[in-house]
Amino acid sequence: MSAQKKQHDALYPVSKSPALKPHITAKQYETLYKQSIKDPTTFWSKQARIIDWIKPFTIVKNTSFKEEDFHIRWFSDGMLNVCANCVDRHLPQRKDKTAYIFEGNEPGDVRHISYQDLYEHVCRFANVLKQHKVQKGGVVTLYMPMIPEAIYAMLACARIGAIHSVVFGGFSASALAGRLDDCESKVVITADGAQRGAKTIPLKDTVDLALTQTEKKTVETVITVKHTGATCPMKEGRDYWLHEEVRHVNTECPYEEMNAEDPLFILYTSGSTGKPKGVLHTSGGYLVYAALTHKYVFDYHEEDIYWCTADVGWITGHSYVVYGPLANGATSLIFEGVPTYPDAARYWDVVDQHKVSIFYTAPTAIRSLMSKGDAFATKTKHPTLRVLGSVGEPLNPEAWQWYYNLIGQKKCPVVDTWWQTETGGILLTPLPGAMDLKPGSVSKPFFGIQPELLNEKGQAIKRTGMGSLVMKDSWPGQMRGVYNDPERFFKTYFSKFKGYYSSEDGARRDKDGYYWITGRMDDIINISGHRVGTAEVEAAINTHSQVAESAVVGIPHSIKGEGLFAFVILKSGEDVLYVFKDEVLQTIGKNIGSFAKPEYIVIVPGLPKTRSGKIMRRLLRKIAAGQVAEIGDVSTLADPRIVDKISEIVVRTFKENT
């Protein structure tokens, strides 16, 4: 048996660590899980008390995935305010408790923000928004660094019933402009800059550029947080500094009473078409699900110091930096910088310094730090850590072991959590103290989650097997729609397999009922946990005047998980020009963001197409991965010889690069 295979089969029994104070045992999980499926109404009506309701709901679950009666509503006559749940309700017992520890880019730049501080900042920010005519139902776009003001802004929106749309600070001006146009945002909140290691990123300048590129010109106001001290040109009547605006507003701001199904936020994510979709989440069900998963998955307790390293620009930042932990009254750490600045010990130094007990990060960060050598990780034994989490992409067994052995010192369960922007919260995960762990597996469904694996005919696979991962029924944190495009919601997620939510991931189920994610089944590539649609990258490349056609596929990458490989056909049919490749890279940076730049760009004379003109991506993936021998029959291609021609070019490119 190979070493790899052995690792796959490894089983780590339920941790008996005294540091764990599990909310449930293995037996209780089984009982509660069964109840959650058999009688969701009783289960969720009880669990929904994890948050406060202004007016309690009487209806719990009202959902159907059937085309003729498609609807998803949870707690639909309940009233609440998400911000009040995250802030106000903690003031009687926790006003002096730290809500956030902010660790800046430079070591030693630390700020503690109590729940009382949070309340004051959020109220003032909300009043600033109101002064700028933001109303219930209006959309506010955030383009921010990982600083406390980003969280104040999100909560301020939630307080007054506005919908936030956070755009990750790594996106380009053009990507930001597209998102502003799509949701017709009138207000943008940004900062003078972001600090990431040795780099400073001029966010406000990018917003200025984006506003020259929007088609609809809906943005009337830009509010800028002074953070790096960079000078920014301010446009009279449009641009305002936050620190000046907050001077004129009241420190109290009453919260809006919101219906459980009122929108809370939009978050754009890549799909299989070129245009990103605005994933819409609503208030009640989302918050219940974020809070409950945060509590159980991380074995969260009152005295924990919890650190999720995600940026608020992604769903992980929404659910597990902001809404879940705050609903539970937690102390969270937020960090503006990068894991390798000033050196590769930064994460672990921060863990020790702030006595972090729960740590949640992405496999790409683990692999990147692992590649820098063990010495950075083993300066101490990180005695405060209790639970380690991972999210965003498969956590390969080697990285799992390193995380478990060196960071967790064999005493912290590793929770490999599977979910998506669309699911709002974690769906498949181990529960610390209640489940045995298997490196590489995302274990079992959370309460209320009914995964199924479907074969090619759409039939459910019983017991063990591999297939399309779908969900048989709704859960409270599920997305409610694609913003401004109701038909796209049903079509994208519910039309392929009738009666199911289709995740577009493949998975395997083993004899113990554990799930193993095998990867995306559509054209989405997961680069360092960033979801990139190959169609988007192709669209960006095709904007170059010399490009006739392009095809982009994913290739395995030792640190990023996956990287991109681009095949490009030039209009003139000319040969490789390095200048041209640089131009293509710049074009992608400009249209999407640097993280979407391919590892390889090759100029090819043609693409493998079927006689009906469909690009055979499966073949391109094999060629790009250097697995030409496994290609097999190509007789269905319009021009079978193209495979050899492209393979030759690719082999040459690999040689040149090594």
User: Which residues sit at the interface with ligand WT7, rule CB under 6 A?
Assistant: 269, 315-316, 391-394, 416-421, 442, 503, 505, 517, 520, 526, 531
Report the nearest approach of ligand WT7 to the CB of residue 343 (Å).
27
CA distance linking residue 97 with residue 9, whole number of Å: 43
Closer of 497 and 580 to ligand WT7 (Cβ): 497
Which CB atom, from 219 or from 287, has the smaller least distance to ligand WT7?
287
Q: Name the 3-class secondary structure at 79.
A: strand
Peptide bond into 325 cis (omega under 30): no
Tokens coding 609: 């197409």
Query: Residue 609 carries which DSSP code?
Result: B
Residue 391 near residue 588, CB atoms below 8 Å: no
Q: Between 332 and 526, name the residue whose CB sits nearer to ligand WT7.
A: 526
Helices (H), 39-114: 40-47, 82-86, 91-94
Q: How far is the CB of 144 from ligand WT7 (least distance, A)?
A: 18
Alpha carbons 209 and 180: distance in angstroms, whole number: 12
Secondary structure string (H, E, C) spanning 444-497: EECCCCCEEEECCCCCECCCCEEEEEEECCCCCCCCCEECCCHHHHHHHHHCCC
| Nearer Cβ to ligand WT7 (161/363) | 363
- Residue 485 C-beta: closest distance to ligand WT7, Å: 18
The minimum distance between CB 507 and ligand WT7, in angstroms, equals 9
173 or 469: CB nearest ligand WT7: 469
Q: Which is nearer to ligand WT7, 104 or 430 (CB)?
A: 430
CB of 264 to ligand WT7, least distance (A): 17
Give min distance, CB of 363 to ligand WT7, in A.
8
Q: Min. distance of Cβ 418 from ligand WT7 in angstroms?
A: 4
Nearest to 335 by CA among 207, 168, 194: 194
Contact 293, 446 (CB under 8 A): yes
Helices H / strands E in the chain, number of each: 21, 32
Would you say 517 and 507 are in contact if contact means Cβ atoms under 8 Å apart?
yes
State which residue, 150 or 160, has the beta carbon closest to ligand WT7.
150
Degrees, nearest 5: CA angle 360-362-368: 120
Cβ proximity to ligand WT7, 183 vs 527, nearer residue: 527
- What is the chain's percent helix, strand, coil content, to nearest 5? 35, 25, 40
138 neighbors 186 (Cβ within 8 angstroms)? yes
**DSSP, res 221:** E
Identity of the residue, 465 or 506, whose beta carbon is nearer to ligand WT7 in the bound complex: 506
The rounded distance, in Å, linking the Cα atoms of 193 and 196 is 10
Find the shortest distance in angstroms from Cβ 416 to ligand WT7.
Answer: 5
Residue with CB nearest ligand WT7? 421
* Closer to ligand WT7 by Cβ: residue 193 or 325: 325
Quote the least distance from Cβ 280 to ligand WT7, whole Å.
Answer: 14
Question: Smallest distance, Å, CB 432 to ligand WT7?
Answer: 16
CA 192 from centre of chain:
24
